[in-house]
Amino acid sequence: MGIRDEIVEQAMSLPPEDRAYVADLLEGSLPIGEFSDPKIASAWSLEIDRRVRAYDQGETTGINFDDALRQMRTALRARGDDKAGK
């Protein structure tokens, strides 16, 4: 097992709040707006432009961050329950 695998294994054994802390630190250390694949960067750029244009033209609306986070967590919990057969 390589050092990266060992680090991942150790990180995955942490409680959720500690994993989130480590993930935030790692994400913050990455260059902003850079992707390893130029095709992915291009696709995201086009999608971001499309979404901003739709918002600016009133074709879509925004959502409060806390509400969005709550909805995502609920959806993830439901997905986890579905996968676990609950």
Tell me the pLDDT of the chain (86 aa) as tens digits.
Answer: 899 999 999 999 999 889 989 988 887 787 766 777 788 888 988 999 999 999 999 999 999 999 999 999 999 999 877 766 65
pLDDT at position 5 is 92
Domain boundary assignment for the chain: 1-30, 36-86
Calculate the alpha carbon distances from 81 to 24, 45, 75 in Å: 26, 34, 10
